[in-house]
Structure 1
Amino acid sequence: MTDIPIVVMGLMGAGKSTVARLLADALGRPMRDSDADLQARYGTTAAAMADEVGADELHAREALVLRDALADRPAPVIAAAASTVEDPETLRALAPAFVVFLDGPPEVLAERMKSSAHRPHFKPDLVRMLTEMRDLRLPGFREVADITVDPSTRGPEEIADVVLARLDGAKAS
């Protein structure tokens, strides 16, 4: 398992970056974060990009930075943008990775989003926006997920422990 990327996915506010950081630290791996990668490559946040170039271009850029991160060696732990599961090329690129899907209730995630200006708010009603995004992306998440965890019922450390135990089990088999 040390030679394949670990990708943490979920909607905005699910805790992808926190869980990915905990996993990267525990495994001694580099960490990549789609938000940071976008900012480094394009010089602006996802929210600003959504305003400047639109959601479709933002999502294309998110898919590109994820595919680049998947090719990194040593294999990183990646906090990936949720939109990437809408891109068939990226779904294929995710096939060999170990994917963690953080699937939390839109009501909880919307509350978490209020404290982050870097996340795009495509609609004023965040619960409705996240519900629609979840409905659209759920088939893609399910297609690639090796493990699904609800971040509203477990803290980041507990989620990391669950994932690490699953990875240990995969190594043993």
Structure 2
Amino acid sequence: MIWPLPGDCGARRASASAIRPGRLTRSHTPGVAEACRLILVGMMGSGKTTIGRLLSERIGWPYLDNDELLRRLVAATPRQIAARSGEERLRRSEAAALRLGLEQPPPCIIGAAAGTILDPASRRAIQACGLVVWLRATSTTLQQRAAGAAHRPWLDSHAAAWTRRAVEERYPLYGAVANHVVDVDRTAAEAAAVEIGEWLSSTHPECRISDRAAPNLPALV
């Protein structure tokens, strides 16, 4: 992969710490192009795809899901990549899919694969390229939602222990890049989409919000 991303994603900001639900991190003031690119981050089971699509319908921006971008790049699912080439190759492929999404012109919504937060270059790109919303859930909620997940083979066994370790490792990293936090344990997907849309329109009125649904995966540039 070639980093950094294009010039409109070139800004950098300081990390935030101890982010509370709904708090906006003001250490970075995005330009218009950045502000009109919304990036959803969080663990598998946090609802990125569901909330991203509902939000797309609500504000009229296309939703780019990391797994769908991955299939565009390599014509394979995450499980297939992991089975054929291992988890490390999957992580590199997911980072490439994230890059492809971040290269698309705004406005758009991007759902980042959960593990991309572990890669420093991906974290810098996420920070540089738009507004970041962390969909935060407890490990209990994540375990319940991920039970029987078909696309992450490392959850086939020892899911509870894996999830607890991943939460401990990743949550400080999600918090460091987030502009806004939604605690999805207590928030239905529809309500989360409404909250994010209202937050976006109130904090970044320069971004054009439409009441017309956008295609979920438009032609990529």
Asked if Structure 1 and Structure 2 have the same fold, meaning a TM-score greater than 0.5 normalized by the shorter chain, the answer is: yes
TM-score by length of 1: 0.91
For 1:134 and 1:57, how far apart are their aligned partners in 2? 22
> Structure 1 residue 77 and structure 2 residue 109: aligned?
yes
Query: For residue 122 of structure 2, what is the aligned residue in structure 1?
Result: 90
User: Which letter maps to 1:150?
Assistant: D
Q: Which one has a larger percent helix, Structure 1 or Structure 2? A: 1
Query: 2:164 maps to what in 1?
Result: 131
- Structure 1: state its 5+ residue gaps: none
Equivalent residue for 2:138, pick from 93, 96, 105: 105
For 1:28 and 1:2, the matched residues in 2 are separated by 17
Q: Is residue 120 of structure 2 the alignment partner of residue 62 of structure 1?
A: no
Largest Rg, 1 or 2: 2
User: In 2, Cα distance between the equivalents of 1:123 and 1:134?
Assistant: 18
Say whether 1:47 aligns with 2:83: no
* TM-score, normalised via structure 2 length: 0.72
Gaps of 5+ in 2: 1-30, 207-221
* 1:121 partner SS: helix
**2:35 matches 1:9:** no
2:67 partner letter: D
Q: C-alpha distance in 2, partners of 1:165/1:75?
A: 16
Q: Which residue of 1 aligns with 2:194?
A: 161
Q: Distance in 2 between matches of 1:52 and 1:86?
A: 22
| Separation in 2, partners of 1:57, 1:134 | 22
Quick check: 1:35–1:45 contact (8 Å CA) kept in 2? yes
Identity %: 29
Alpha-carbon shift at residue 170 of structure 1 (Å): 0.9
Counterpart among 31, 53, 70 of residue 38 in structure 1: 70
Question: How far does residue 32 in structure 1 lie from its aligned partner after superposition?
Answer: 0.6
SS of aligned partner of 1:101: strand
Deviation at 1:111, TM superposition (A): 1.7
Matched position secondary structure for 2:154: coil
State how many pairs are aligned.
173
- Could you tell which deviates more after superposition, 115-124 or 6-15? 115-124
* 1:9-34: CA deviation from partner (whole Å, max 9, x where unpaired): 11111110011111122221111111
CA spacing shift, 1:120–1:100, aligned 2, 3 Å: farther
Which of 168, 183, 186 is the matching residue for 1:150? 183
Q: Distance in 1 between matches of 2:153 and 2:65?
A: 16
1:25-50 per-position Cα deviation (integer Å, ceiling 9, x unaligned): 22211111111111222222112212
Deviation for aligned residue 1:123: 5.9
Contact 1:86 1:140 in 2 (8 A): yes
Contact 1:8 1:20 in 2 (8 A): yes
**Structure 1 residues 81-90 or 1-10, which shifts more?**
1-10
Partner of 1:28: 60
What is the rounded CA distance, in whole Å, between the counterparts of 1:165 and 1:2 in structure 2? 17
CA contact (8 A) 2:45 2:142 kept: yes
